[in-house]
Amino acid sequence: MSLTYRAAVLHKAGAPLSIESVTTSGPSPDDVVVRMKAASLCHTDLEVIDGSLRYPLPMILGHEASGIVEEIGSDVTGIRVGDHVVLSWNPHCGHCFHCDRGQPILCETYLEEGPKGLHFDGRSKAALGSGQPLTHLMFLGAFAEVCVLPAQQVVVVPKDMPFDRSCLIGCGVMTGVGAALNVADIRHGDTVMVFGCGAVGLAAIQGAAMAGAENIIAVDLDDAKLARAATMGATQRINASTQDPVEAAGAATKGRGVDVVLESAGHPTAFRQTTEAVRPGGEVIWLGKIDVAKDVSFRWGSLMGEKRLRRSSYGGARPRRDFPLLAQAYLDGKLKLDELITGRIALDQINSGFDLLRQGKTIRTVITF
**What pLDDT shows up at residue 121?**
87
**Is the Cβ–Cβ distance between 203 and 176 less than 8 Å?**
yes
Amino acid at 363: I
**What pLDDT shows up at residue 141?**
94
Q: Which candidate, 75, 83, 76, 47, places its Cα nearest to that of 63?
A: 47
- Confidence (pTM): 0.94
Residues in the chain, overall count: 369
**Which residues make beta-bridge pairs with 24?**
3
pLDDT at 26 over 90: no
Q: Does domain 176-311 have CATH number 3.40.50.720?
A: yes
Give the full edge-to-edge strand order of the sheet including 59-60: 127-128, 18-24, 3-10, 59-60, 135-136
pLDDT band at 1 (very low <50, low <70, confident <90, very high): low
Q: What is the mean pLDDT of residues 295-314?
A: 96
Mean pLDDT over the full length of the chain: 95
Condensed to tens digits (0 to 9), the pLDDT of residues 39-63 reads 999 999 999 999 988 999 999 999 9
Condensed to tens digits (0 to 9), the pLDDT of residues 227-243 reads 999 999 999 999 999 99
* % the chain with pLDDT above 90: 93
CATH architecture, domain defined by 3-156+337-368: Alpha-Beta Complex (3.90)
Q: What are phi and psi of 242, to 5 degrees?
A: -125, -15
